[in-house]
Structure 1
Amino acid sequence: MVDSLGLRITGNAFVDSGIYALKTFCEKDLNDITKDDLIDLSENISNLYPKGKWNKNMYSIFPNLKPLTYPR
């Protein structure tokens, strides 16, 4: 059983950017994105953040973060 998450545009620029990113990566309409899509996408995206350039970029956005670590 695959159910839609019922994503919708909120008016918040940060939230809406994330929703549009999901829509783009999944290549689906907002109403067609499912929990399974998010799980698949999270596995692909989580491989980007440990890389040097992405990790360095996170500090410019969130300067008070402790070093980003990813247990394997």
Structure 2
Amino acid sequence: MPPKSPLWELFHSNKTKYKTDKTHLNAWCKACVAAHIRQLDADESASHSLLWRSQSQQFEEALKKISPICGKLKKLESHL
């Protein structure tokens, strides 16, 4: 197996395979996830929500809301 590409430093993965792909992992862009979490914080502040989520809860919610991309290097590069 080749070494992991440095591109993976810019993406999250939960070690699950992408859809029916037997070799490539799910990938979420770290910048997109961070932007989604900032938006969640802004929405909660604007609505004066009493829901206080931990960082891990916000992270998990962001991964559920953002569709993963295939962990093929060409797909990662094209996303960036």
TM bracket (short chain): under 0.3
What is the TM-score of this pair, normalised by structure 2?
0.25
Q: Which has the higher helix share?
A: 1
Q: Which has the higher strand share?
A: 2
